[in-house]
Structure 1
Amino acid sequence: MNNTLRHWREAATLILAAGSHHGGSMSIMASQLDQKKKVFDYEVLLLTRSQNSGFMPNALVFPGGVVDASDFSNDWMKIFERHIKKPNFGLGVVKQSHISRPPMFATDRVQFGSLIPGEVAFRICAIRETFEESGILLVVPENLDVDVNQNFIKAYEENEEEVSRWREAVQNNPVQFIEMCKKLQCVPNIWALHEWDNWLTPTFSKNSKARRFDTAFFVCCLPKKPVTKDDQKEVTSFQWATPQETIEKYKSQATWLPPPQFYNLSRLCNFSSIQELHRFSCSRGLEGCERWLPITVHAENGVVHTLPGDALYPEDPDVTGESGRIYSTDKTIEVLMEKGCSFHRFVVYDGVPNYYVNTQPKYRHVNPIFPDIRAEPQSRL
């Protein structure tokens, strides 16, 4: 692990999409309907965090959590023995320049004593945390040849009683995830997870003691929804829902989505078909991603939360928060929303949240889309 981190903790999150009972024909129906109300043939797993949670209580989030030292343990070398001679254990080499690569991926872990590449360890973390929180185990037999472009993945559903015992053991001690893979003769299916984006928790004030995270987001597509069981600890409930259903609930204030979840669910609205999402995530996964730190700009009558590329986003943002710098303008939000500007921002109007985006996405990614967006997003590459 990167033991030089001072301002945030590294974490990994999994956007888990699974085919619904509607079947693939629904994607054809979607093209015949008003695009403001798409019909999806898949749903996304979302968990409700406990109100007692120390980070984002009561929020609706994707499964995931903080990286543990065991995720970088060299004991994984034996488990991944068939793959260690391949670039990044068979994941391939990301095309993004090392200079622009997010630090959590670009950091050489050998200097900290780990032979496990960051691209591998963060996927292990996402798979482990998903297992702990939902009971879904994404592994493959140790003797199976796998490929990042393979068809849909199946979650491990055999020996349910034994897997339940292992889940409790892993919850109590993450090192047990390694032991479980040894006993079950399986390997975390890192090849099913495709790099999606990277978010830094913003600073709120110079003296804020709020925990901050540097989080890698991955996408995984399953052919059907696996059995899911909440842990009754950090997670109080779970739900499978389409991206648009979840966004509508958030806008009606029936639930709360943190900004990265809102943004990425809106990105998924580009894809009404699970097959299309799977193909896109596979083909784009080795392009790379940006590290995004939201910056709050205080306007005369409210605040605007900006992302890189926005006209209000500072050229040299205070990433660490140590300076206590406050970004402000004497203009109103209405003036700041006039056409002609570059928008990559989150704004709340009359209690309704929305992203406004007209910047060109990098690394062959897609912009979020919304039924009532004011700034039309660029089309996909």
Structure 2
Amino acid sequence: MNNTLQHWREAATLILAAGRQHGNVIPKMAPQMSWNNRRRSTFDYEVLLLKRSQKSGFMPNAFVFPGGVVDVSDFSNDWIQVFQRHANKPNFGLGVVRQPSSTRSPMFVTDRMKFGSAIPGEVAFRICAIRETFEESGILLVVPDSAEVDANQDLTEAYGQDGEEMAKWREEVQNNPLQFIEMCKELRCVPNIWALHEWGNWLTPVFSTSTRSRRFDTAFYIACLQKKPWWTPEEAIDEYRTQTTWIPPPQFYDLSRLCHFTSIHELHRFSYNRALEGCERWMSVLVHAEDGMVHTLPGDDLYPEDPDLTEPKMYSSNKTIGALVQEGGRLHRFFQIDGVPMLFINLQPKYKHVNPLLTDLRRDPEPKSKI
């Protein structure tokens, strides 16, 4: 855990995808398909989204992936005993990311030994994501401490909150994250960190001085399960597009990425093969257009060359959102028209990732685009 951070806290989030028990699909990836064409196919998996409390000080009522702030217990050296079969392996057997350290997010390359922890960040952030998912949903990603899990190339299993014992442990972990270590020791299991594949890294934007205490540098992971009944990515986006639910931009962006994959096996294969490529840390920068707000992301022509990561800055344009899109150039942005979310991207994704599946704007309000 990095206690020296002044402007944000470290966090971890888990995109949990699970196979459905019905529906026939053709397992393939179609990066060039539009959203409306993709509607003709059927997803054979669903993703877990949880609704935040209305009283929450951060994104109330939003539907989000499970996750939360890193706790000191996630970096506790007591995990060495829990992971004793793997503790001497690089990153506990997770593998080494190929991305150069010079472009790697600071949260991944920070030397945790400086803060007294022998737990690599790659491991601790996964522990955090698994612990938070258990606390928030009752779904537990663990394997027996004797299991051979180095590769973990197959879809994984999850344990639900079945029986009084697991309900008791969940309550104890909610009250004290240190109990997650004790639970693993008593049940002779380890968090299945190998089932979590690196997906992305989002830094909360600088909205105002009042939001400084609610900024998070968040590692996004993905895990693919055999089965569990939740929404499909398509259904989640439909809920958002009809304004039935609110989904924050990072979740909307990544759900739109998932829409390339109708098969849980194809999604797992892609995320497993891509995970060691790395990812960028993204922080959206707001640009005030004449008729609304534009969330810009790295690479966009409107994105500042050297954005201030700590102080709120006002960026504005006297043009409409439609005019800004019609200008063309490098586009990597998100905005809403009459409550309808839209993504505009014409950049090649880095680290062998995929861009979101873009909305077919022929069915949507202005502005129109040739993207």
Confirm or deny that 1:11 pairs with 2:14.
Answer: no
Quote the residue 1:220 is aligned against: 223
2:48 corresponds, among 41, 45, 50, to 45
Give distance in 2, aligned partners of 1:210 and 1:84.
34
Alpha-carbon offset, residue 376 of structure 1: 7.3
Shift in alpha-carbon separation, 1:118–1:375, aligned structure 2, 3 A:
farther
Q: Residue 161 of structure 1 corresponds to which residue in structure 2?
A: 164
* Aligned Cα root-mean-square deviation (Å): 2.0
TM superposition score normalised by structure 1: 0.90
Match of 1:27 in 2: 26
Report matched runs for 1:231-270 at 5 Å. 240-270=230-260
**1:30–1:38: 8 Å Cα contact kept in structure 2?**
no
Q: What SS does the corresponding residue of 2:164 show, helix, strand or coil? A: helix
From 358, 362, 366, the equivalent of 1:370 is 358
What residue is the counterpart of 1:198 in the other structure? 201
Q: Secondary structure at the match of 1:262?
A: helix
CA distance in 2, matches of 1:265, 1:196: 12
Aligned-partner Cα distance in 2 for 1:103–1:249: 35
Query: Is residue 341 of structure 1 aligned with residue 322 of structure 2?
Result: no
For residues 72-123 of structure 1, the C-alpha deviation after alignment (integer angstroms, 9 at most, x for no partner) is: 0000001111111211000000001111101111111000000000000000
Give yes or no for contact 2:105–2:280 (8 Å, CA) kept in 1.
yes
What residue is the counterpart of 2:33 in the other structure?
A: none
In the TM superposition, what are the counterparts of 1:87-102 in structure 2 within 5 Å?
87-102=90-105
Q: What residue identity is the alignment partner of 1:93?
A: V
* Contact 2:14-2:65 at 8 Å conserved across structures: yes
Measure the CA separation in 2 of the matches of 1:53 and 1:3: 24
User: CA separation in 1, counterparts of 2:136 and 2:203?
Assistant: 22
C-alpha distance after superposition, 1:143-188 (max 9, x if no partner): 1111334211111359732111111100000000000000000000
1:145 alignment counterpart: 148
TM-score by length of 2: 0.93
Cα deviation code 1:214-267 (max 9, x no counterpart):
1110000001117xxxxxxxxxxxxx1010111111011000001111001000
- Alpha carbons of structure 1 residues 89 and 336: separation in structure 2 relative to 1, 3 Å: same
Distance in 1 (CA, whole Å) between partners of 2:183 and 2:47 is 27
Aligned-residue sequence identity (percent) comes to: 66
Q: Which residue of 2 aligns with 1:332?
A: 320
- Return the alpha-carbon distance in structure 1 between the equivalents of residues 355 and 275 of structure 2: 16
Q: Distance in 1 between matches of 2:207 and 2:298?
A: 18
Quickly say closer, same or farther: Cα 1:356–1:30, change in 2 above 3 A: closer
* Superposed displacement of residue 133, structure 1: 0.7
Distance 1:149 1:180 in 2: 23
Distance in 2 of aligned mates of 1:148 and 1:64 = 24
Note if 1:62 corresponds to 2:50: no
2:140/2:158 contact within 8 Å kept: yes
Aligned partner of 1:286 in structure 2 is 276
TM-superposed deviation, 1:208: 4.1
Measure the CA separation in 1 of the matches of 2:200 and 2:332.
Answer: 15
Deviations 1:334-374 (A, max 9, x none): 21111531111011112211111111111000000134256
CA contact (8 A) 2:27 2:265 kept: no
Q: State the distance in 1 between where 2:322 and 2:57 align.
A: 35
Question: 1:246, 1:65 → 2: CA distance?
Answer: 21
Question: In 2, Cα distance between the equivalents of 1:6 and 1:29?
Answer: 44
SS in 1 for 2:48: strand
Q: Whole-Å Cα distance in 1 between the matches of residues 106 and 15 of structure 2?
A: 21
Contact 1:136–1:155 (CA under 8 A) maintained in structure 2: yes
Asked if 1 retains the 8 angstrom alpha-carbon contact of 2:301 and 2:330, the reply is yes
Q: What amino acid maps onto 2:26 in structure 1?
A: S
Residue 17 of structure 2 aligns to which amino acid in structure 1? A
Tell me, which stretches of 5 or more residues in structure 2 are unaligned? 31-35, 362-367
TM-aligned CA distance change 1:17 to 1:301, over 3 Å = same
Q: How many pairs are equivalent? A: 361
CA distance in 2, matches of 1:216, 1:301: 33
Read off the aligned partner of 1:114 and give its amino acid letter.
S
Q: Answer yes or no: is the 8 Å Cα contact 2:52–2:60 preserved in 1.
A: yes
Q: Which moved more, 1:277-286 or 1:352-361?
A: 352-361
CA 27–301 in structure 1, closer or farther in 2 if over 3 Å, else same: same
With over 3 angstroms needed to count, the CA separation of the structure-2 counterparts of 1:250 and 1:19, relative to structure 1, is same
Q: Distance in 1 between matches of 2:105 and 2:287?
A: 24
> Counterpart amino acid of 1:26?
V
Instruction: State the Cα distance separating 1:210 from its structure 2 match.
Output: 5.1
